[in-house]
């Protein structure tokens, strides 16, 4: 690795840390500016009880002091503090519980989308303008243009209610099938279209013609030259796709009642569970930042022509 | 060449599909495993239900939710419990206590109860349950250190006031204060109440009063994991997959274990009513505690037996901010006259709403039109319904006639009253100078539909009311701070005594959303109260809210004569309703769906559901 590349990577990591810090700071102060509070309920607790709770969780201290204490705990001890709503549980425990499910969901959706998308895209490109190509294009257009909450509801009605072959509740292993499909369809369709157009582009390149002229076998052309090079746009899409899956799972987890981090995030906001809001935000932000970083670095690996500067 | 390629790609695709398939394989193999287990489990009964999403806590002292109370009631055994008698009526019976003894009044007016624990009581880990466990648990639940939502449930116990005494800065004065509860010996518990309390036995059956053991709760996370969760009730918690399912299994150490019919209960955790309905309809769950509002009409006809409407002690109402200016700009009324006029106007507006329309067309869940604040289900000492004896009319219940055929007359009467204060255009039948109102509600389709109805009802007489919705937590804050003119509100009882509907309106209450006695209303002296006929010296003419209502509530709290106490509570409601700030719309019901194969299920008026005596047919 050249020193230039190394410098670039270091710079990007520095930028990523800065991004996360900005996210933490903005979230911390905006969250506290929102009206309401963690101990607000239909049946109001007495002022003395409220004061006792605030003192217990350090919420009675000046905001700046709370911010500094929080940052210190997160950076030095990776301690996100206790949940204010689910008393007795730490934010870390809630996040790691949710993450197990969300990660399973996200990884299955991402790999499913990648594998199917690339294969379908390649088939479509090789069968250009033939029947198979047209079918694939029509279907993927439909998937790309349909938002996940509609797709999710349709699948739910079809498979869980009408046919009753799959559970509607995403809390079991079987229950994850529908949410995985819902989450994977959009990126799968997008990758299919991406692979198709990029493959068509590559197949028209001079070096492919040269390879053909030199008598290289068809399989070698496709797998050795065409497919590899047409995957560059797919890799550039890798980062945005993971971001889509992470954010998309907020909606999908809600529809299928999947006990993931997305649901923890949504409910932490309605509950004003400050430490949980911070914890989930930090984890999600880190995830997106890291994914983008990784896909940027991957460009370079796949295509040496790309100048990172 | 192309063919080979296509073949290769097809193979690749099949491979990719197979790869996807294999990631789902565990699920596929799990299903048959479940199926083969089923016959083995046939002897052991089990039930799958869904009440709500993940409970915030199932620590009996910290819980304040209805679904949490249901779980805790299965897991713990207090001195008393809810049960059904032979006729199916709900009664409070002794549980851990050998009997629910009568209190003995002391010279200073306090009342002491002595309970003996039954023989053979054990915790789920085998240790004996002692009187000291109760004394510890009660002190813990009531303490400022825990600051539990329902800590105030111990308000009736002697010593609570000292525990919560604060200085001018709001600091707790006596951090070491304790409740007047003593474990006389291993099996005898003595508790002294500040004065006699009509609903004491009911409190003993309340989850906040359930015992916990000191060494167990020393671990702050004890109630979040089955391995550390030690209980003393009919069930033990054997599994908690967070946000997914809580599993309870019969506790062999429970003293009445042979009476418990259901071996295993799975509480699935979801708050999505569509998801609940799907799982109910495909037979996965046998009870669901919520259904989508827009499905109610269908479900009632489709499942006449399984769609259940149960009573619930609660009132859905609209509240006014008492300090909101509603007189026309041209009005010359000031001071007490203006305040009296506002009360009359608010009471008139309450008559413009057709409550039957609201419950039949919008609510659709068997709600009962309400004309008083203390909810249906609360009873007088003689067993009659409190709401039926509310108000002064012999012809109808409550403070106005809400029967369907009275609506027209109500409407006409309201218009006549409003004409006294506002300009009325006879040609159009509209008031032209009523200030614009804003109705605040928390974001929800149901609340919105009711808001829209109220809006259209007022628009019918020329009153413009805009609708504004806020997210739940923000809404609570806005309403509490009094930054609204008119707002949606609702109240569910914590225990079967009307005081829990009345003491929330004293000046200092955290639930005083109307802002009685606050801001401009602090000095408004238009309220009169005469209790001399009941033997009290209190007689106030044109007093403030603090001089009348607050005084009345404190008298109710110290009153030991039940007859007098209920009369005082009726008078408190009279005073409350005279302000027109509370506009009751309907009494809540609890709707749920219960599979018709399930027998032996019951629920209590607070909405707690009991599955321990259930059996599943077929």
Q: Give how far A3 is from chain B: nearest CA, Å.
A: 39
Q: Give how far B479 is from chain A: nearest CA, Å.
A: 10
Q: Helix (H, G, I), strand (E, B), or coil: what is residue B126?
A: coil
Band of the pLDDT at B10, cuts 50, 70, 90? Answer: very low
Integer Cα distance of B98 and B535 in angstroms: 39
Backbone φ and ψ for B424, nearest 5 degrees, come out as -115, 130
Q: What is the pLDDT of residue B275?
A: 82
Band of the pLDDT at B32, cuts 50, 70, 90? Answer: very low
- The answer to whether B9 contacts A123, with C-beta atoms less than 8 Å apart, is yes
Task: Choose among A37, A49, A86: nearest Cβ to B147.
Answer: A49
- The answer to whether A171 contacts B2, with C-beta atoms less than 8 Å apart, is no
Q: What is the CA B461 to chain-centroid distance, rounded?
A: 35
- The answer to whether A259 contacts B269, with C-beta atoms less than 8 Å apart, is yes
Backbone φ and ψ for B52, nearest 5 degrees, come out as -165, -175
Least confident of A225-234, B147-156, B310-319: A225-234
Q: Is B471's Cβ below 8 Å from some Cβ in A?
A: yes
- pLDDT tens by residue, B449-460: 999 999 999 999
Please compute the mean of the pLDDT values over residues B479-485 and round it to a whole number: 94
Q: What is the pLDDT of residue A130?
A: 93
- The answer to whether A173 contacts B2, with C-beta atoms less than 8 Å apart, is no
What residues of A are in contact with residue B269 (Cβ under 8 Å)?
Answer: 171, 259
What residues of B are in contact with residue A255 (Cβ under 8 Å)?
Answer: 272
- pLDDT tens by residue, B326-353: 999 899 998 899 999 999 999 999 999 9
Q: Helix (H, G, I), strand (E, B), or coil: what is residue A144?
A: helix
**What count of residues does chain A have?**
309
Q: Is B562's Cβ below 8 Å from some Cβ in A?
A: no
- The answer to whether A94 contacts B242, with C-beta atoms less than 8 Å apart, is yes
Q: What is the CA B409 to chain-centroid distance, rounded?
A: 34
* Token pair recorded at residue B593: 């769906």
DSSP-assigned letters across all residues of A198-248? HHHHHHTSHHHHHHHHTT--HHHIIIIIIHHHHTHHHHHHHHHHHHHHHHH
- pLDDT tens by residue, B63-95: 988 999 999 999 999 999 999 998 888 899 999
State the residue for tokens 């030690």: B230
Q: What is the pLDDT of residue B195?
A: 83
Q: Is B483's Cβ below 8 Å from some Cβ in A?
A: no
Residues 128-147 of B with CB under 8 A from A: 144-145, 147
**How many CB atoms neighbour CB B407 within 10 A?**
18
Task: Choose among A52, A116, A156: nearest Cβ to B144.
Answer: A52
Task: Choose among A41, A115, A167: nearest Cβ to B19.
Answer: A115
- Please name the helix (run of DSSP H) or strand (run of DSSP E) that holds residue A26, with its range, or none: helix A3-33
Least confident of A6-10, A186-190, B473-477: A6-10
Q: Give how far A266 is from chain B: nearest CA, Å.
A: 13
Given a contact cutoff of 8 angstroms between Cβ atoms, the answer to whether B97 and B79 are in contact is: yes
What residues of B are in contact with residue A127 (Cβ under 8 Å)?
Answer: 6
DSSP strand pairing (B90-94 vs B245-250): unpaired
C-alpha distances (whole Å) from B77 to each of B123, B199, B558, B615 are 10, 18, 30, 21
Q: What is the pLDDT of residue A308?
A: 55
What residues of B are in contact with residue A161 (Cβ under 8 Å)?
Answer: 278, 281-282
Average pLDDT, chain B: 89
Integer Cα distance of B540 and B519 in angstroms: 22
Q: Give how far B31 is from chain A: nearest CA, Å.
A: 8
Integer Cα distance of B361 and B357 in angstroms: 6
- pLDDT tens by residue, B572-588: 999 999 999 999 999 99
- Please name the helix (run of DSSP H) or strand (run of DSSP E) that holds residue B318, with its range, or none: strand B307-320
Backbone φ and ψ for B20, nearest 5 degrees, come out as -65, -45
Q: Is B68's Cβ below 8 Å from some Cβ in A?
A: no
Task: Choose among A35, A46, A171: nearest Cβ to B510.
Answer: A46
Integer Cα distance of B500 and A241 in angstroms: 53
* Residue in B17, B48, B147 to test binding to A, most A beta-carbons within 10 Å: B147
Q: Which residue of B has its CA nearest to A42?
A: B476
What residues of B are in contact with residue A112 (Cβ under 8 Å)?
Answer: 20, 23
DSSP-assigned letters across all residues of A35-92? SS-TT--SSPPPHHHHHHHHHHTTTTS-HHHHHHHHHHHHHHH----B-SSSTT-BHH
Integer Cα distance of A17 and B611 in angstroms: 52
Proportion of chain B above pLDDT 70, given as a percent: 93
* Residue in B21, B22, B473 to test binding to A, most A beta-carbons within 10 Å: B473
Q: What is the pLDDT of residue B43?
A: 64
Q: Is B29's Cβ below 8 Å from some Cβ in A?
A: no
β-strand partners of B157: B193
Least confident of A156-170, A255-269, B164-178, B469-483: A156-170
Instruction: Write the DSSP symbol of residue B532.
Output: G
- Please name the helix (run of DSSP H) or strand (run of DSSP E) that holds residue B584, with its range, or none: strand B582-594
Q: Is B226's Cβ below 8 Å from some Cβ in A?
A: no
What residues of A are in contact with residue B17 (Cβ under 8 Å)?
Answer: 116
* Token pair recorded at residue A201: 């582009």
Which is more confidently placed, B40 or B391? Answer: B391
Integer Cα distance of B493 and A258 in angstroms: 33
C-alpha distances (whole Å) from A45 to each of B322, B488, B550 are 22, 20, 19
- pLDDT tens by residue, A121-155: 999 998 889 999 999 999 999 998 988 889 998 99
Give start and end residues of each alpha helix (H) in B180-304. 200-204, 214-217, 273-281, 296-302
Integer Cα distance of B224 and B242 in angstroms: 9
Task: Choose among B12, B245, B490: nearest Cβ to A119.
Answer: B12
Q: What is the pLDDT of residue A168?
A: 73
What residues of B are in contact with residue A55 (Cβ under 8 Å)?
Answer: none
* Residue in B4, B9, B49 to test binding to A, most A beta-carbons within 10 Å: B9
Q: Helix (H, G, I), strand (E, B), or coil: what is residue B230?
A: coil
Q: What is the pLDDT of residue A3?
A: 79
Backbone φ and ψ for B305, nearest 5 degrees, come out as -85, -35
Q: What is the pLDDT of residue B457?
A: 96
Which is more confidently placed, A50 or B428? Answer: B428
Q: Which of B372, B342, B343, B339 is nearest to B355 (CA)?
A: B372
- The answer to whether A89 contacts B221, with C-beta atoms less than 8 Å apart, is yes
Helix and strand tally (H, E) in chain B? 17, 25
* Token pair recorded at residue B49: 């239900």
* Biggest CA-to-CA distance, chain A: 86
Q: Is the pLDDT of residue B15 over 50?
A: no
Q: Helix (H, G, I), strand (E, B), or coil: what is residue B241?
A: strand
* Token pair recorded at residue B194: 């500040």
Given a contact cutoff of 8 angstroms between Cβ atoms, the answer to whether B380 and B198 are in contact is: no
Integer Cα distance of B62 and B298 in angstroms: 38
Given a contact cutoff of 8 angstroms between Cβ atoms, the answer to whether B288 and B593 are in contact is: yes
- pLDDT tens by residue, B197-238: 878 999 999 999 999 999 999 998 999 999 999 999 999 999
Q: For A34, how many CA atoms within 13 A lie in the half-sphere containing its CB?
A: 23
Task: Choose among B9, B59, B242: nearest Cβ to A88.
Answer: B59
What residues of A are in contact with residue B64 (Cβ under 8 Å)?
Answer: 41, 43
Q: Give how far B157 is from chain A: nearest CA, Å.
A: 17
Q: Which residue of B has its CA nearest to A112?
A: B20
What residues of A are in contact with residue B477 (Cβ under 8 Å)?
Answer: 35-37, 40
Q: Give how far A51 is from chain B: nearest CA, Å.
A: 8
SS3 percent helix, strand, coil of chain A, rounded to 5, is 75, 0, 25
Integer Cα distance of B390 and B90 in angstroms: 24
DSSP strand pairing (B486-492 vs B437-442): parallel
What residues of B are in contact with residue A208 (Cβ under 8 Å)?
Answer: none
Instruction: Write the DSSP symbol of residue B254.
Output: S
**How many CB atoms neighbour CB B535 within 10 A?**
8
Q: Which residue of A has its CA nearest to B29?
A: A174
């Amino acid at each position: 690795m050249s020193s230039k590349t190394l410098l670039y990577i270091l710079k990007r990591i520095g930028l990523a840390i800065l991004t996360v810090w900005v996210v933490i700071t903005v979230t911390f102060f905006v969250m506290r500016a929102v009206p309401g509070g963690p101990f607000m309920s239909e049946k109001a607790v007495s002022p003395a009880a409220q004061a006792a709770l605030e003192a217990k969780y350090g919420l009675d201290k000046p905001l700046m002091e709370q911010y500094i204490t929080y940052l210190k705990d997160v950076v030095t001890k990776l301690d996100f503090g206790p949940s204010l709503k689910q008393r007795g549980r730490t934010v870390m425990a809630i996040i790691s519980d949710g993450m197990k499910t969300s990660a399973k969901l996200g990884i299955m959706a991402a790999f499913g989308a990648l594998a199917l998308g690339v294969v379908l895209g390649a088939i479509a490109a090789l069968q250009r303008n033939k029947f198979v190509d047209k079918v694939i294009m029509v279907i993927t257009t439909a998937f790309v243009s349909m938002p996940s909450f509609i797709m999710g509801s349709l699948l739910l009605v079809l498979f869980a209610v009408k046919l009753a072959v799959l559970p509607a509740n995403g809390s079991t292993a079987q229950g994850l099938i529908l949410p995985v499909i819902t989450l994977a369809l959009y990126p799968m369709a997008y990758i299919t279209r991406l692979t198709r157009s990029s493959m068509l582009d590559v197949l028209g390149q001079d070096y492919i013609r040269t390879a053909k002229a030199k008598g290289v076998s068809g399989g070698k052309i496709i797998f050795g030259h065409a497919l590899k090079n047409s995957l560059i746009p797919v890799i550039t899409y890798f980062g945005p796709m993971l971001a889509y899956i992470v954010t998309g799972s907020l909606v999908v987890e809600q529809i299928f009642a999947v006990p993931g981090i997305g649901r923890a995030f949504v409910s932490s906001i309605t509950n004003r569970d400050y430490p949980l809001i911070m914890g989930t935000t930090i984890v999600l932000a880190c995830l997106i930042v890291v994914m983008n970083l990784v896909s940027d670095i991957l460009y370079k690996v796949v295509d040496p022509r790309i100048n990172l500067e | 060449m192309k063919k080979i390629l296509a073949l290769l790609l097809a193979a690749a695709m099949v491979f990719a599909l197979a790869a996807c398939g294999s990631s789902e394989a565990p699920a596929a193999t799990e299903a048959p495993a479940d199926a083969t287990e089923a016959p083995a489990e046939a002897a052991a009964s089990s039930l799958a239900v869904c009440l709500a999403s993940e409970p915030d806590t199932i620590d009996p002292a910290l819980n304040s939710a209805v679904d949490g109370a249901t779980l805790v009631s299965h897991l713990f055994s207090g001195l008393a419990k809810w049960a059904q008698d032979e006729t199916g009526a709900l009664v409070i019976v002794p549980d851990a206590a050998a009997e629910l003894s009568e209190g003995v009044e002391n010279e200073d007016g306090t009342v002491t109860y002595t309970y003996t624990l039954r023989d053979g009581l054990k915790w789920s880990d085998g240790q004996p349950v002692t009187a000291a466990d109760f004394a510890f648990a009660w002190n813990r639940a009531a303490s400022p250190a825990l600051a539990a939502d329902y800590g105030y449930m111990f308000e009736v116990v002697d010593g609570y006031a000292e525990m919560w005494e604060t200085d001018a800065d709001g600091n707790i004065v006596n951090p070491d204060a304790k409740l007047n509860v003593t474990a006389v010996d291993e099996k005898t518990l003595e508790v002294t109440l500040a004065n006699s309390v009509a609903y004491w036995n009911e409190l003993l059956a309340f989850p906040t009063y359930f015992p916990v053991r000191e060494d167990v709760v020393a671990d702050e996370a004890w109630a979040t994991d089955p391995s550390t969760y030690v209980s003393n009730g009919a069930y033990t918690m054997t599994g908690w997959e967070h946000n997914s399912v809580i599993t309870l299994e019969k506790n062999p150490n429970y003293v009445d274990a042979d009476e418990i019919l259901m071996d295993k209960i799975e509480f699935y955790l979801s708050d999505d009513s569509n998801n609940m309905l799907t799982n109910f309809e495909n037979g996965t769950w046998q009870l669901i505690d919520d259904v989508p509002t827009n499905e109610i009409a269908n479900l009632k006809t489709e499942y006449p037996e399984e769609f259940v409407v149960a009573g619930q002690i609660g009132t859905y109402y609209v509240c006014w901010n008492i300090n909101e200016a509603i007189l026309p700009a041209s009005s010359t009324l000031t001071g007490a006259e203006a305040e009296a006029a506002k009360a009359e106007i608010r009471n008139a507006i309450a008559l413009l709403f057709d409550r039957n329309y609201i419950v039949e067309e919008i609510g659709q869940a068997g709600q009962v039109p309400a004309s008083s604040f203390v909810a249906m289900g609360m009873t007088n000492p003689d067993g009659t319904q409190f709401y039926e004896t509310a108000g002064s009319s012999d012809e109808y219940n409550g403070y106005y006639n809400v029967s369907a055929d009275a609506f027209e007359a109500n409407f006409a009467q309201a218009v006549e009253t409003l004409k006294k204060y506002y300009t009325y255009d006879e040609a159009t039948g509209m008031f032209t100078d009523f200030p614009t109102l804003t109705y605040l509600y928390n974001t929800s389709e149901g609340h919105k539909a009711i808001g829209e109805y109220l809006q259209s009802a007022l628009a019918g007489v020329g009153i413009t009311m805009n609708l504004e919705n806020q997210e739940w937590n923000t809404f609570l804050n806005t309403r509490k701070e009094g930054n609204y003119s008119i707002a949606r509100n609702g109240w569910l009882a914590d225990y079967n005594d009307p005081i829990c509907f009345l003491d929330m309106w004293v000046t200092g209450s955290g639930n005083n959303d109307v802002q009685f006695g606050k801001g401009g209303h602090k000095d408004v002296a238009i309220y009169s109260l005469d209790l001399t006929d009941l033997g009290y010296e209190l007689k106030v003419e044109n007093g403030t809210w603090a001089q009348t209502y607050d005084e009345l509530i404190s008298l109710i709290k110290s009153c030991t004569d039940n007859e007098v106490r209920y009369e005082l509570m009726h008078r408190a409601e009279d005073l409350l309703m005279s302000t027109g700030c509370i506009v009751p719309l309907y009494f809540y019901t609890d709707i749920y769906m219960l599979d018709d194969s399930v027998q032996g299920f019951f629920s209590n008026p607070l909405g707690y559901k009991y599955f321990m005596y259930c059996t599943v047919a077929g």
